[in-house]
Amino acid sequence: MFELLRALDACHSMGIMHRDVKPHNVMINHSQRKLRLIDWGLAEFYHPGQEYNVRVASRYFKGPELLVDYQMYDYSLDLWSLGCVFASMIFRKEPFFHGHDNYDQLVRIAKVLGTEELFQYLTKYEIVLDPRFNEILGRHTKKRWERFVHAENQHLVSPESLDLLDKLLRYDHAERLTAREAMEHVYFRAIVQDHGGRIPVGAQQNNDGTKKPGSTTPSTNPT
């Protein structure tokens, strides 16, 4: 996960959204201990305030913004997809949100994150929900992540992993961690310490595309 975040941090700092983060687009060379994020066919340069096509990303990894046709999304879309991958890993449930179509996909998300929170998100961004959701969405309270822990996956779960997951899988894209912020999360403390307490170079950037103070443009290849 840390290496995947490094790849996203690098591409985001170069102004690129991957828009199709999923397990099938991650290649790992175990002998060389290298990870590569592949298939950049849906990648796009990000420009603040621009509208983008919502017909991107694979269904199980689509962010809520895509499912409600919100076109002014940003790099945080990739962090939602990464959060879905992370949830699948620690809970041993692949995929974590298993919708039968794009409408059902949002329903599956709402059953975990809650419908009240969904409507708050829609109101904040003045998004009108497709009428087809009226009959299928229902009402659901937000679930605690601990509910998904059981005997077969409890060895993969920790309070730190659940906290990281909670900060990635947010309806509101503005509330999700950036790739750099996720790398700085306590869940990865041991890895950062192995790097001498420093995170490998990559421009620190907000999800809206603005660089954070002290940021520099990296020469790292996102793959």
At 16, which CATH number? 1.10.510.10
Q: Yes or no: say if 192 and 184 are a contact pair by the CB < 8 Å rule.
A: yes
Is residue 221 included in any domain, yes or no? no
Cα–Cα distance measured from residue 193 to residue 139, given in angstroms and rounded to the nearest whole number: 44
Please report how many Cα atoms fall inside a 13 Å half-sphere around the Cα of residue 223, on the Cβ side: 8
Q: Which of 117, 208, 209 is nearest to 169 (CA)?
A: 117
Q: Annotated active-site positions, please?
A: 20
Give the pLDDT confidence score for residue 172 in this predicted structure.
Answer: 99
The pLDDT-based confidence of 201 (bands split at 50, 70, 90) is low
User: How confident is the model over 107-150, as pLDDT tens digits?
Assistant: 999 999 999 999 999 999 999 999 999 999 999 999 999 999 99
Instruction: Compute the average pLDDT of residues 159-179.
Output: 99
More confident residue, 26 or 195: 26
Model confidence at 213: pLDDT above 80:
no
Reply yes or no on whether the pLDDT at 54 is more than 60: yes
* % of the chain with per-residue pLDDT over 90: 85
Count of domains observed in the chain: 1
Percent of the chain with pLDDT over 70: 89
CA R_g for the chain:
17
Q: Given a cut of 50, is residue 221 above it in pLDDT?
A: no
**What mean pLDDT is predicted for residues 87-102?**
98
In a domain, 213, yes or no: no
Q: pTM of the entire structure?
A: 0.89
**Is residue 199 included in any domain, yes or no?**
no
Instruction: Give the least confident one: 24-33, 81-90, 103-112, 186-195.
Output: 186-195
> Tell me, what's the pLDDT at 197?
72
Is the residue at 222 inside a domain?
Answer: no
Structural domain includes residue 208: no
In a domain, 16, yes or no: yes
pLDDT for 207 equals 56
Residue among 10, 165, 142 nearest 85 (CA): 165
Residue 17 lies in a domain: yes
Give the pLDDT confidence score for residue 220 in this predicted structure.
Answer: 37
- Residue 16 sits at φ, ψ, to 5 deg, of -115, 130
Position 217 confidence tier, pLDDT thresholds 50, 70, 90? very low
Q: Which of 76, 158, 89 is closest to 125 using CA atoms?
A: 76
Predicted local confidence at residue 195, as pLDDT: 75
Range of the domain at 61: 2-35+47-194
Q: Would you say residue 206 lies in a domain? A: no
